[in-house]
Structures are given as structure tokens and as C-alpha cells.
Structure 1
Amino acid sequence: MAKQLTILFWGFIYGEVIGYVLSALSGSPFEPLQSGLIAMVGGFIAVNCLLAFVKSPKKATKTDK
């Protein structure tokens, strides 16, 4: 649970920074809530999908030989 909350928190923070920089470069208005929420959801999905594919290998037992 704490891992998921950390992902959401840092996703929001990075989304704010990236959204501010991109809006300044493109000249469009900065929408903080939208940029933070999009990054939160995207980061949450990306990390959980990666965890589904990347798992630590099983340790070999004596019966596996």
C-alpha cells in the first residue's frame, strides 16, 4: 500500500513539473490538476504493468536438479 501511494505522490509531483515546462515551451495555459492526474495514472499503470512482467527468479531446490 505504501509503495502505491509513493508512486502516486511522485507521479503527481513529476507531472506538475513536466506539465509546467511543456506549457511554458508551447505557450499554452498550465492546468496543474490535469497534468498531475494524468502523470499519476500513467505512472501507476506503468509501474504495475512492469511489476507483472519482472519477477525475481525462483531459487532452485535439490529436487529441481
Structure 2
Amino acid sequence: MAKQLTILVWGFIYGEVIGYISAALSGGTFSPLYSGVFSMIVGFVLVNALDHFIKAPAKKDHE
């Protein structure tokens, strides 16, 4: 549960920063709520999809 909350919080923070910079560079309007929530959803889906496909390596017993 803590991993999921961390993903959502950092997704929101990165979304705000990237959204602000891209709006300033393109001359568009900046919507803080949209950019934050959109990044949270995308980050959540991507991390969980990668976690599903990438498994931790099996531990080997050393003699």
C-alpha cells in the first residue's frame, strides 16, 4: 500500500513540474489539477504494468 501511495504522490509532483515547464515553453495554459491527476494515473498504470512483467531474480543457494 505504501508503494502505491508513493507512486501517486511522486506522480503528482512530477506532473506539476513537467506540466508547468511544458506550458511555459509552448505558450499554452497550465492546468495544475489536470496535469497532476493525469500524471498520477499514468505513473500508477506504468509502474504496476512493469511490476507485473518484470519479476525479481530468483535467489541462488551458495554452497
For normalisation by structure 2, the TM-score amounts to 0.89
Distance 1:2 1:52 in 2: 17
Aligned CA-pair RMSD: 1.3
The count of corresponding residues between Structure 1 and Structure 2 is 61
Structure 2 partner of 1:22: 22
Alignment of 1:11 onto 2:34: no
Q: Which has the larger radius of gyration?
A: 1
Structure-2 separation of matches of 1:58 and 1:33: 41
Unaligned ranges ≥5, structure 2: none
Which residue of structure 2 aligns with residue 45 of structure 1? 45
Q: Which stretches of structure 1, 4 residues or more, deviate above 2 A after TM superposition?
A: 57-61
Give the distance between the partners of 1:34 and 1:40, measured in 2 at CA: 10
Pick which of 52-61 and 33-42 moved more: 52-61
Rounded Cα–Cα distance in structure 2 between residues aligned with 1:16 and 1:60 = 43
Query: Which secondary structure state, in structure 2, belongs to the residue aligned with residue 5 of structure 1?
Result: helix
Percent identical residues: 62
Gaps of 5+ in 1: none
